[in-house]
Amino acid sequence: MIENILDQSMLRQGHEISFILGHRVLAKTNQDWFELKGEPLSVSEWEDLKDFCLQSNEKIQLETKGFVSGLYQSEKFSWRFSFVEKKDCFRAYLSVVNDSAHVQSGIDYPLFWDNIKKEKGIFVIGGERRQGKSNLLAEIIANDQNNKMSLTGIHSSYQQQKWPQLDAIVHLGADSIDWEAGHAIYDGIERVVVDFNSIKNWKKWIEFAEQGQSVYLSLSINSLNTLFYKLAADLDPSLISRFLQVFNGSVVQKLAGVPKIALHEILICREKEKNKLMQFYNQKQNFQMMNLAELGFESYQTLNQSILQKMIRRKLDVQSAFAVSNSPDELDTQLKKMGL
């Protein structure tokens, strides 16, 4: 029963699970909790959970001291656990440990890799929490360095992130992110990577791109439409115009299935796409009614198109596909057309 609960949680993108005696089992995806088991956790199930996760010495420690924590390795994932067993408090909390072998993006969209080679401009890497944005950034850096050696500066608040072991990488840290674009810390740096969930000072990164540097921004978003909503909310019209002039494109990554498969919504922004985006904004003064598919297949790949590619190659099952799709009705129609 416990193994099924863990697998069900991962299938639904849940990375944290709460077991409380007498309560329903809950899992957390991003910031939202959902039920994994409709019935309250019984005493026998609590004992099964202990038997399942704990070694005999850990069980003894829990029963004598009331608290134990450690790591449990299931057939598919590693879980960090903590158990509390005291009067009126029987609680266990499990959170998945990211595999040291990073999920590779597997992006086979040639224009994407051509675009990140540009020596100047902004590229936005998007995704919700725990969707592998940092890993994708690391893959992009390694790929780009294979094409041209240049000094890369990384702003990151995650000390545990395993960036590529390259001599051309300078770790700028988290505290310096708000320093002026002309600060001496950036001398000689041709590429800037900003690994943060929320970008605040858009103007600084626009100035970097205008000066001829390339900038990769990591942003917590669930779709490209969300990116444009954020731009319309955060930037005034003059800054939006400047941003679009240096905007090279964006990719939004989602992980689905067991094991995790990377899926992508991709926008390649060349001169003609920039003109269309600016023209649309000038007419509507926002991006809310914009249909990115009108930009054309060569410059825009929907998430559903990425899902279909993985399904055809038998890397993703139907249940996982519909769980991650942002347009399940459209996906259903496409699958029926393909006879799947």
SS3 string of 202-235? HHHHHHHHHCCCEEEEEECCCCHHHHHHHHHHHC
Q: Is-contact 95 65, C-beta < 8 A?
A: no
CA distances, 129 to each of 6, 68, 335 (Å): 19, 27, 29
Is the link from the previous residue into 164 a cis peptide, with omega within 30 of 0? no
Report how far apart, in Å, the C-alpha atoms of 95 and of each of 4, 98, 256, 323 are: 15, 9, 17, 20
pLDDT, tens digit only, all 340 positions of the chain: 667 777 667 666 657 888 999 998 888 765 677 787 778 989 999 998 998 889 888 888 898 888 888 888 776 677 788 899 988 889 898 887 655 445 677 787 888 888 888 889 999 999 987 788 888 888 888 877 666 667 888 898 755 456 776 678 888 888 888 888 888 888 888 999 998 877 888 999 999 999 999 999 999 999 998 999 888 888 998 999 999 999 999 999 998 877 788 999 999 999 999 888 888 888 776 777 778 888 888 899 999 999 998 898 888 888 888 988 988 999 998 888 877 6
- In the chain, list all ranges with CATH 3.40.50.300: 110-301
CATH number of 110-301: 3.40.50.300
What DSSP designation does 186 have? G
In the chain, which residues fall in CATH 3.30.450.90?
2-97
Q: Which CATH architecture has domain 2-97?
A: 2-Layer Sandwich (3.30)
Q: Which of 300, 293, 295, 298 is nearest to 330 (CA)?
A: 293
Contacts of residue 94, defined as CB under 8 A and 6 or more positions apart, other chains included, come to 6, 16, 17, 19, 53, 72, 79, 80, 81
Q: What's the gap between Cα 219 and its chain centre?
A: 9
Burial 315-340 (b: 16+ CB within 10 A, else e): bbbeebbeebbbeeeebeebbeeeee
For the whole model, what pTM was predicted? 0.71
DSSP conformation class of 42? P
Structure confidence at residue 30 (pLDDT): 59
How far apart, in whole angstroms, are the C-alpha atoms of residue 185 and residue 44?
59
